[in-house]
């Protein structure tokens, strides 16, 4: 049980990611479901599982990607999953504010 090892959490940083890239015609439902489970479903249910352990105040950081904002070939499913994750950060930010929990979505970028 989580609460035996960590009775209270100050910060949750969710950084798991499936970065599978394929052209549209090469996607199958099983691979799509696996990517969405890793990039969206698992962070959602991780937050739900640790919610009772979060201090007031606490911080949740969901690691997205700039792929959610730009169009790259063979990146459609990955970009969609990261866009959904960043949307989750925005909505949970409003939902968890009364608990003293701040939620942010982080989207990395490239530097030349």
Among all residues, which ones are annotated catalytic? 78
Tell me if 20 sits within 8 A of 78, measured CB to CB. Answer: yes
Asked if 105 contacts 62 with a C-beta cutoff of 8 angstroms, the reply is yes
Question: Taking Cα atoms as reference points, which of 53, 64, 44 lies closest to residue 11?
Answer: 53
Return phi, psi of residue 7, to 5°. Answer: -70, -25
Own/partner pairs, 96-99, CB within 8 angstroms, 24+ separation: 96/60, 99/54, 99/56, 99/58
């Amino acid at each position: 049980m989580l609460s035996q090892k960590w009775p209270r959490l100050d910060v949750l940083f969710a950084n798991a990611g499936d970065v599978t890239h394929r052209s549209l015609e090469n996607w199958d439902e099983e691979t799509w479901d696996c990517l969405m489970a890793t990039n969206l479903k698992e962070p959602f249910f991780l937050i739900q599982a640790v919610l009772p352990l979060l201090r007031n105040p606490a911080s949740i950081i969901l690691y997205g990607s700039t792929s959610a904002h730009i169009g790259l070939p063979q990146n459609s499913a990955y970009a969609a999953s990261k866009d959904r994750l960043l949307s989750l950060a925005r909505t949970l930010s409003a939902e968890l504010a009364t608990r003293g929990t701040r939620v942010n979505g982080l989207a990395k970028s490239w530097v030349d």
